[in-house]
Amino acid sequence: MTALICGSIAFDTVMVFPGRFRDHILPDRIHLLNVSFLVPSMRRNYGGCAGNIAYNLALLGGRGRPMATVGHDFVPYGEWLRERSVDLAHVREVEGEYTAQAFITTDLDDNQITAFHPGAMSHAHLNRVPADDGLTLGVVAPDGRDGMVQHAAQFAAAGIPLLFDPGQGLPMFDGPELLDFVGKATWIAVNDYEAQMLAERTALSLGELAGRVRALIVTRGAEGSVIHADGRQIVIPPARPDAVVDPTGCGDAYRAGLIFGLQQGLDWETTGRIASLMGSIKIAHAGTQHHRFTRDEFDDRFHAAFGRRL
């Protein structure tokens, strides 16, 4: 089984300001804001939802191809993914554009100032879902707005089961548009905040949303997750992480676990625990693609976390 993962590929440049923004921003001069922060710590990470999910799925031994638009600066990121057995056949370079970029500055209070340049991601709609490529599962994750709409429609037209993962892209859509996504989706994955927003914008309860798909998966951070499926609410416990270092990308790691479980035909209790453990492993590492494990190591960690073998 092969999943086509439609979503963003991006560079995340993370800088740490060893002070507090509030000490340098005058409240009565906010309309004339002109500040500069010295950031001695900086790292550039490979990220984006499609890239992160594909990376994590490859770690598990699942089959997935990201579909995304990137810029002329993608070369080192592409080499990184290929070395980790990620198939880039559906990644398109857009001439004259940069790969999507997030520039994030964090202070000592964990406040963040972020600038995001979508770059090539704005051209996501140039890619089309192939109807004859042996695909058995589709993913629509945060991406260019037109791309998300068109790719969901193309999965539906091709009869390919769809995991809808709106993430940070959810605010781009109104109620009728989100209802259209729900109508095309086979499964929906959101965090608890996104679940509430989805319910409010569609005027449907979580139970009603769950009734329209095979499963509604709601992640709850350190409290684990709940999978609404088959008329049940399946509570998935959290897996205890080795350390809490960086939550960025945990949701993508979790979704890779979902996809792997679906590809393997596993029950929701097992699939949810695989996903939970993936998020736990990720949070103990800085960046979204710096955690690694062998399959035997993962199986051992699964047994330690949940008291049973895969």
What's the first-to-final CA gap in the chain, in angstroms?
Answer: 19
- Tell me how crowded residue 26 is: count the other CB atoms within 10 A of its CB: 11
Pairing type for strands 215-219 and 225-229 reads antiparallel
Q: Are 103 and 15 in contact (CB under 8 A)?
A: yes
Q: Using CA of residue 27, residue 30, residue 34, residue 40, what is the dihedral sign?
A: positive
One-letter identity of residue 145: R
- Tell me how crowded residue 140 is: count the other CB atoms within 10 A of its CB: 30
Q: Which of 70, 87, 121 is nearest to 4 (CA)?
A: 87
One-letter identity of residue 306: F
**Two tokens at 73?**
């600066």
Residues 6+ apart with CB under 8 A from 107: 16, 17, 19, 20, 21
Q: Where are the domains of the chain?
A: 3-8+47-97+124-302
pLDDT tens, residue order, the chain (310 aa): 799 999 999 999 989 899 999 898 878 777 888 889 999 989 899 999 999 999 999 999 999 999 999 999 999 999 999 999 999 999 999 999 999 999 989 888 878 888 999 999 999 999 999 988 889 999 999 999 999 999 999 999 999 999 999 999 999 999 999 999 999 999 999 999 999 999 999 999 999 999 999 999 999 999 999 999 999 999 999 999 999 988 889 999 999 999 999 999 999 999 999 999 999 999 999 889 999 999 999 999 999 999 999 9
pTM: 0.94
- Fold classified for 3-8+47-97+124-302: UDP-N-acetylmuramoyl-L-alanine:D-glutamate ligase (3.40.1190)
**CA triplet 8, 10, 13: central angle to 5 degrees?**
150
3-state SS, residue 120: helix
